[in-house]
Amino acid sequence: MINMGNTPQETGKILSQPSSSPKHCLAEFTRVRMADFGVKCIQDIVPGDMVLGVDDCMKPTPVKVVQTSDQGYRACVDACLENSARDHYISLSCTAECKILCMNIAEPHNAHTNDSFDCTDDFRQFPIGTIAYTSATSDANARCYRPMTINESYPYFISEYYDDQPEVDVYGIDVDSHNHLFVLANGLIVSNAAE
């Protein structure tokens, strides 16, 4: 059932054009940073809204929401992330497959000025479940990448991770950007796209 307007749909129904993956979702009430720097809960976002995205070099840019979806109740994880300076914590509730933009911390560069970033190699998207279990992953590259926020230059690490949480209503949005990235109110840069 397709809906291009603001009418609420039954749980588990597509609210606009289908393409985001039901596995890459954020929990209800997750706050998304809008392009005007305001905040909206993910379930309140509609096609045509402008959210804050990032380009390939992690510079903020407005992006248009092209589709939204209520993916019904799904198992989620709760993660607490701490920056490497150990002075700031943020949390996230999402499906384990929800992708977060991460920075390569193995390469020498000045994280505060971005002077030597190679925009194509220094950033990659990883599912939060992969980041949480990097010691168990077969992707050796994942061990060198850590979540970043739009607000700070310090990389984050997952200090607490709970994968046995009850099912909650989850939502996805897709944005009109080839990298599918958008920014949460806490600064994390995420993607709901299946690609």
pLDDT in tens, 63-91: 999 999 999 999 999 999 988 777 889 99
User: Which residues, other chains included, contact 121 with Cβ-Cβ below 8 Å and sequence gap of 6+?
Assistant: 104, 107
Q: Tell me, what amino acid is at 151?
A: N
CATH topology of domain 26-74+167-191: Endonuclease - Pi-scei; Chain A, domain 1 (2.170.16)
Q: Report helix, strand or coil for 176.
A: coil
Percentages helix, strand, coil for the chain, rounded to the nearest 5? 5, 45, 50
Cα–Cα distances in angstroms (integers) from residue 32 to residues 51, 58, 66, 104, in the given order: 7, 17, 15, 24
Q: Name the segment(s) of the chain with CATH classification 2.170.16.10.
A: 26-74+167-191
Q: Which of 20, 167, 12, 31 is nearest to 92 (CA)?
A: 31
The two tokens of residue 77 are: 């994880």
> Tokens at residue 23, please?
């596995």
Higher pLDDT pick, 157 / 94? 94
Give the span between the Cα atoms of 188 and 102, in whole angstroms. Answer: 9
Weakest mean pLDDT among 12-16, 130-134, 188-192: 12-16
The pTM score is 0.78
Taking only the tens place, the pLDDT of each residue in 156-174 is: 888 889 988 889 999 999 9
Structure tokens at 172: 């996805």
- Residue 45, pLDDT score: 97
Sheet holding 156-162, edge to edge: 50-54, 60-74, 168-175, 26-27, 89-94, 77-83, 156-162
Yes or no: say if 152 and 145 are a contact pair by the CB < 8 Å rule.
Answer: no
- Inter-CA distances, 172 with 77, 168, 193, Å: 15, 13, 8
| One-character DSSP codes across 89-134 | EEEEEE-TT-EEEEEESSS---TTTTTT--TTTSEEEEEHHHHHTT
pLDDT score recorded for residue 38:
97
- Give 106-153 pLDDT, tens digit per residue: 754 444 444 444 555 678 888 888 777 663 444 555 557 778 888 777
For all residues of the chain together, what is the average pLDDT? Answer: 78
